[in-house]
Structure 1
Amino acid sequence: MPTLYDQVLYPNTPFRQTHPDRLASLAILFGMTPPPVPQCRVLEVGCGDGGNLIPMAFEYPGSQFLGVDTGAVSIGAGRREIETLGLSNIRLEQMDLMDAGTDLGTFDYVIAHGFYSWVPEPVRDKFMALTKAILAPQGVAYVSYNVLPGGRIRQMFREMMLFHLRGETEFGASIGGARQMVQWFRASQPQESESSTLIAQVESVMDRTPQVLFHDELNPDYYPVYFQEFAAHAARSGLQFLSEANYFDSQPRTLPADVVAEIEKAAKGDRIVREQYFDFMRCRMFRQTLLCHQEIVLPAAPLPARLEALRASSTVKPVSKKPDLSPGVAEEFRGWKGTGVTAAHPLTKAVMLLLGEAWPQTVRVSDLSAAVSRLTGEPADPEALSQILLSTYAAGVIDLHTQPRQCVAHVSQFPVASELARSQVSRGKCATTALHAMMEAADERICAFIGLLDGTRDLAALVRELAPTSHLPEAELARGIQENLKLLAERGLLIA
């Protein structure tokens, strides 16, 4: 029987928080020994057309991937994509989770993105029990879900939209009616500032694609929970809270220091209680939680000694053209999406400078220590480096990894876009980058440009290929090509 997801396809794309490398990095920081990502087994529940899973299979041919979903249309589309790419290490199966059992096998990483809050209680129970049964001893599960109390605001808008629709289920009419209701609400709140929680939710609803709005907000099944309830559900199945997929989401950040101090007293060292208090203070709406087996003894915080097994990366660049690494001279470093740090300590400045220069590649922490020492002229200080890395990681300024990225930081003489990206843009405008993110090409000309980057053309050859359709002077076209190549490298689309 066709499902809602057969009638209206959900747009599945790469979601970097689900990537096994991220899950493994956090597991290592908390003292676990997860299986190596290049030789692992991954299950995705609610995989859709495999838009998140297929790029992982392409990236790691030595690993095995299985995606399950109830939607026949999505599974069929994903299988065709797998055949086009010639992948043999991934399967997509149409399956009701209630019929799934341990015969699926054992998995090192289990992913359920956009699933838990949109299925009824028996299915949520089955998911937790199945995850416990099939997760490898040192495995990690990723689960995203809507949380309270912030979920009440989403729920309020959902209920207003459903009231206005009065049972209407046709796709176009549902989207039109839902957005009309939200627009009415916005027009009726002239006193609300653009930064208010209510208006932020209005913008969130209006910015969503019709397919996402239809499934995320108008779905018949919609079950936000408190974090403590989710953690208790996991515990009943023999699983426990490991971390949030974005580690900085568990940090106090902008909460007042005196409030944080009181929360720490009230929590009495209980991580679940602490996280729940933070959700209350932030009116949090959504979580991306990592789980592991309950038998594992976890530390209260990441272990600095485990950093030696990891790699680091950051998008930050110095604001000044020639940053001064001298002690006491403050330098500002800015990254993507508002991230950044201002530091006066030579060691911190050197770390930011080196990671920014290496982006989008990752740098071994052990190599970083030696490079920082050479740059500052000071003896290596592993303890201080660990403190800097953990603090900037907690602030969302850097990321940590177990694996090097399969991309380059600088444009080569004969630039190469990944085979996956070239295949994708030959059939559409979106390409998956080495950052496990989707990059949308501005138009068909950019798609054609990416398709030419197969390692056989230098700048002069690219100019000759593109000149007939560009209508630009040759010198100007060459500059444009160089700028676009630099952008593609920065976004992780070019490989060695």
Structure 2
Amino acid sequence: MSDTKLLTRSKPLSRAHPDYLRALARWFGLDAAPAEHAHVLDIGCGYGTHALMLAAFNPNMRIIAIDRDEEAIALAKEVAEKLALKNVRFICQDIAKLAPKQASVDYLICHDVFSYLDEDERHALFKLTKSALSERGVAYITYSTYPGWKLLEGYADMIEYRLEQPAEGNAQDDLARAHNFLALLQQHIQENHPLKPVLALYNQEILSLEPQKAHLDFIAKKIIPCISMNLWPRPKKPT
């Protein structure tokens, strides 16, 4: 099993709101459950900002939010208690050990977590999704894919070479050195280089990442991108 903590998200996600997911589902012919009375499972909730937002603005919604970061869950519980939110539960637990009631979840949210799971954990997530979703349920699972991540892997390799040896237990120092390197790289790209606009875009994207994600992706290199078509079983060719 992977020892990587699920990412501690710090911002609510508009595209993972049940109202948005329900509207999106209708494009694919699925009449998803109304958001105001939905049962939501948020996997990898981090500090609980998304779950707290849903609970605060939707008092009839029921939310269970999990993460294996004890510190993040403790803070989320504290905030929920201060806000007197009775419709959200925060649980510190691994995906493989989670066992919600079968067919009880209307919206399963798993954002920016899948690409940090090992093979067993990914299978556990798929199994959980299959058993937990209600008949009208919607799963929102995001992940990093190839070939787009190939260029970013080049950045990670350059940062690794530049750092030579990451500072043990000092992620902030590593990030500061990585940011300085990216700024230097951007400064010295030739003006007429055909890839300059693309490299500038990727540079800015990396620099704007939340510190924990930047460290996991480009210094610790914990991310495991995949090819989308390899995630799902393909139909057999007719013989």
Same fold (TM over 0.5): yes
1:162 Cα deviation from its structure 2 partner: 2.4
- 1-structure distance, mates of 2:214, 2:29: 39
SS at match of 1:211: helix
Q: 1:108 aligns with which of 94, 106, 117?
A: 106
Indicate the residue corresponding to 2:79 in structure 1: 81
Moved more, 155-164 or 50-59: 155-164
- 2-structure distance, mates of 1:156, 1:79: 39
SS at match of 2:142: strand
Indicate the residue corresponding to 2:40 in structure 1: 42
Indicate the residue corresponding to 1:419 in structure 2: none
Equivalent residue letter for 1:183 = A
1:288-303 pair list within 5 angstroms:
none
Indicate the residue corresponding to 1:60 in structure 2: 58
The 8 Å contact of residues 216 and 222 in structure 2, kept in 1 or not, is answered as no
Q: 2:154 aligns with which of 150, 153, 156?
A: 156
Indicate the residue corresponding to 2:231 in structure 1: 230
The 8 Å contact of residues 95 and 124 in structure 2, kept in 1 or not, is answered as yes
Specify whether residues 56 and 102 from structure 1 end up closer, same or farther in structure 2 by C-alpha distance, changes over 3 A only.
closer
1:51 Cα deviation from its structure 2 partner: 0.6
1:60 Cα deviation from its structure 2 partner: 1.2
In our comparison, the structure showing a higher alpha carbon Rg is 1
Equivalent residue letter for 1:172 = Q
Specify whether residues 54 and 219 from structure 1 end up closer, same or farther in structure 2 by C-alpha distance, changes over 3 A only.
farther
Indicate the residue corresponding to 1:200 in structure 2: 201
Q: 1:118 aligns with which of 111, 116, 119?
A: 116
**Percent identity of equivalent pairs:** 23
Specify whether residues 104 and 14 from structure 1 end up closer, same or farther in structure 2 by C-alpha distance, changes over 3 A only.
farther
- 2-structure distance, mates of 1:41, 1:24: 13
Q: 1:144 aligns with which of 123, 142, 145?
A: 142
Structure 2: segments with no counterpart, 5+ residues: none
Indicate the residue corresponding to 1:176 in structure 2: 176
Specify whether residues 154 and 104 from structure 1 end up closer, same or farther in structure 2 by C-alpha distance, changes over 3 A only.
farther
The TM-score normalised by the length of structure 2 is: 0.86
- 2-structure distance, mates of 1:219, 1:147: 18
The 8 Å contact of residues 194 and 200 in structure 1, kept in 2 or not, is answered as no
1:49 Cα deviation from its structure 2 partner: 1.2
Structure 1: segments with no counterpart, 5+ residues: 237-496
SS at match of 1:52: helix
- 2-structure distance, mates of 1:104, 1:138: 13
Runs of 4+ in 1 over 4 A off after TM superposition: 3-6, 102-105
Cα deviation code 1:70-96 (max 9, x no counterpart): 000000110011011111010010001
Equivalent residue letter for 1:23 = L
The 8 Å contact of residues 156 and 221 in structure 2, kept in 1 or not, is answered as no
Q: Pairwise CA RMSD of aligned residues?
A: 2.4
1:69 Cα deviation from its structure 2 partner: 0.3
1:193 Cα deviation from its structure 2 partner: 6.4
- 2-structure distance, mates of 1:218, 1:139: 37
Specify whether residues 121 and 184 from structure 1 end up closer, same or farther in structure 2 by C-alpha distance, changes over 3 A only.
farther
Q: How many residues align?
A: 230
SS at match of 2:41: strand
The 8 Å contact of residues 32 and 136 in structure 2, kept in 1 or not, is answered as yes
- 2-structure distance, mates of 1:194, 1:154: 14
1:475-486 pair list within 5 angstroms:
none
- 2-structure distance, mates of 1:142, 1:107: 12
- 2-structure distance, mates of 1:216, 1:92: 26
- 1-structure distance, mates of 2:186, 2:195: 10
The 8 Å contact of residues 36 and 61 in structure 2, kept in 1 or not, is answered as yes
- 1-structure distance, mates of 2:116, 2:188: 30
- 2-structure distance, mates of 1:68, 1:52: 12
Specify whether residues 120 and 4 from structure 1 end up closer, same or farther in structure 2 by C-alpha distance, changes over 3 A only.
closer
Cα deviation code 1:393-428 (max 9, x no counterpart): xxxxxxxxxxxxxxxxxxxxxxxxxxxxxxxxxxxx
- 1-structure distance, mates of 2:68, 2:158: 29
1:115 Cα deviation from its structure 2 partner: 0.3
Equivalent residue letter for 1:227 = S
- 1-structure distance, mates of 2:174, 2:102: 37
Equivalent residue letter for 1:150 = G
Cα deviation code 1:414-465 (max 9, x no counterpart): xxxxxxxxxxxxxxxxxxxxxxxxxxxxxxxxxxxxxxxxxxxxxxxxxxxx
1:59 Cα deviation from its structure 2 partner: 1.4
Cα deviation code 1:78-120 (max 9, x no counterpart): 0011011111010010001122234587201000111011222
The TM-score normalised by the length of structure 1 is: 0.43
**Which structure would you say has the larger RCO, counting Cα contacts within 8 Å and 6 or more residues apart?**
2
- 2-structure distance, mates of 1:104, 1:69: 20
Indicate the residue corresponding to 2:187 in structure 1: 187
